Amino acid sequence: MNKSSETALTIFESAKKDGSLICFDTKNGFPQVELYRTEVTAMDINKDSDCFEISKKYMPKREVVDRIGEASGIIFIMGETKAQEINDPACGKHTVYTGIAQGKVRLPDGTWRISSVCEYEFDPTLRAMLDYEETELTPQSKARRKKYTDKDGVKKERSYGNTLGIAILEYQKMGRQRANTGARLRVIRELVGLPIAFTDKQLEKPVVFGRIVQNTSHILQTPEGRIMATAQALGVDVASLFGKSKMLIDDTANSSDNTAENDKINITPQEGDEAEKTEAEKLAEEAGSPEESPFPEPPPPRKETEFEQLTGILSEFIEGFRDALDVNARDGNNPCKLAEAELADPNATEESRKTMIVRIRTFLTAKGINV
């Protein structure tokens, strides 16, 4: 582990003791060579101004997602949002938004890990109906408001807030943005390990992220690095610094019956020219030779670990069966909250993931849901 990695590890350990959420692999995520270093960013996220509140949890807004992606070193290479009109028996004819995104992040060895193409579907009408606890969209249900719930969990007759119809319009106004943000969050969650949504407790302290970047200080300590960095800063072609190589010039003025040798004028050095070549020119010519400079093979694709596969399975359970899981069981535990806590645990292991998946599957089977 290099010096920058040791410094970053110290910062992560201090933040963890302070109760902050760590979104970085502190065991295997540090570069071992001086060519790369780890940057640490502690980000304050305000649940009221920086997030959307959904099901008593907080989903970051788009500008916050972009800050999280940058702090994690993620580069988004693809993104779009589609709108599709569907006709549902319970919700009627309405619009559903689907966000699509893909990104990449630098690994400790300098290669890139590319995420899968992540999609996130946001249905404004269905989301509003769930919040208002309505199972069917009718003119009567559109005019209803939320019911007041006291501290004992008993619903009162007194209503408050906007009607369901107004809530649907409010959700539609931000539907495209929420779908885009959800897809980008899935990319970050896949590459970094970000929770699906934040809880009150997780946002009480700064959320800490890390990214791997080139170690510019180390690069500038070498002569070759200084030349490359200067050329990149000035927009200069590096090959031009060492002179131009000799070329074969096509003679297009010759008639078509001339031979291939007569179609080209071979410019050869005169006597003494070879001796006058600088060492840099010789190196430039050798570098330009296709026989001595083969095209490098691309690095082999990174295989998904068993821990990552188990994380994906648990995430799919939560996304697909949230309504069935977000209830209090007989023992007082909420399966959905337990599963989300497992995903957010930085010390989770393969065994803890497997145990939680078995518990969730058993719970759903007991409710008559085959998974």
- Helix axes 164-173 and 124-131, enclosed angle (nearest 10): 140
Q: Which two tokens stand for residue 167?
A: 């809530």
| pLDDT of residue 259 exceeding 70 | no
Helices 306-320 and 335-344 meet at what angle, rounded to 10? 150
**Which pLDDT score, from 0 to 100, does residue 304 have?**
66
Is 23:16 a contact under the CB 8 Å cutoff? no
Provide the residue type at 325 as one letter: L
Q: For position 230, what pLDDT does the model report?
A: 78
Q: What is the mean pLDDT of residues 330-358?
A: 86
In the three-class reduction of DSSP (H, G, I as helix; E, B as strand; rest coil), residue 357 is classed as helix
Q: Which two tokens stand for residue 240?
A: 């031009």
Query: Cβ(226)–Cβ(52) under 8 Å?
Result: no
Mean pLDDT, residues 352-365 taken together: 86
Give the residue among 326, 319, 315 at the shortest CA–CA distance from 121. 319
Is the pTM higher than 0.85?
no
> Looking at residue 80, what is its pLDDT?
92
For residue range 12-70, list pLDDT tens digits in order: 888 888 888 888 888 777 887 788 888 899 999 998 899 888 778 888 887 888 899 89
Residue 2 confidence (pLDDT) above 70: no
How does residue 255 score in pLDDT terms, banded at 50, 70 and 90? Answer: very low
Which residues face 74 on adjacent strands?
105
pLDDT at 117: 94
The confidence score (pLDDT) of residue 297 equals 59
pLDDT of residue 33: 78
**Among 207, 169, 219, which residue's Cα sits nearest to residue 65?**
207
Tell me the per-residue pLDDT of 92-114, one tens digit each, with 9 for 90 and over: 889 999 999 999 999 888 889 99
**pLDDT given for residue 369 in this prediction:** 79
pLDDT at position 284 over 70: no
Q: How far apart are CA 222 and CA 212, in angstroms?
A: 21
In the chain, the amino acid numbered 76 is F
| Of the candidates 211, 173, 270, the residue with the CA atom closest to the CA atom of residue 69 | 211
**SS3 for 302?**
coil
Neighbouring CB atoms inside 10 A of 90's CB total 12
Pick from 13-27, 135-149, 185-199, 286-300: least confident: 286-300
46-49 long-range contacts, CB within 8 A, separation 24+? 46/203, 47/198, 47/200, 47/203
Cα-flanking dihedrals φ and ψ of residue 152, to 5°?
-85, 0
Task: Give me the phi and psi of 217, to 5 degrees please.
Answer: -60, -40
Domain ranges, ordered by start, for the chain: 3-216, 236-287, 303-371
Predicted confidence at residue 116, as pLDDT, reads 94
Burial of 190 (0-12, 13-18, 19+ CB in 10 A): buried
Contact between 210 and 29 under an 8 Å Cβ cutoff? The reply is yes
Are residues 191 and 113 in contact, defined by beta-carbon separation less than 8 angstroms?
yes
Report d(CA 70, CA 23) in Å as an integer: 13
Q: Average the pLDDT over each of 37-46, 293-302, 313-322, 337-346 and give the range with the smallest value.
A: 293-302
Q: At what angle do helices 62-71 and 175-191 cross, to 10 degrees?
A: 20
How many of the other CB atoms lie within 10 Å of CB of 48? 8
Contact between 243 and 287 (Cβ < 8 Å):
no
CA atoms within a 13 Å half-sphere pointing along the CA-CB vector of 94: 22
Give the CA angle between residues 30, 107, 231 to the nearest 5°: 105
pLDDT at 154: 61
Task: Please list, in sequence order, all residues whose beta carbon lies within 8 angstroms of the beta carbon of residue 117, skipping any fewer than 6 positions away.
Answer: 78, 100, 101, 102
Distance CA 348, CA 341 (A): 10
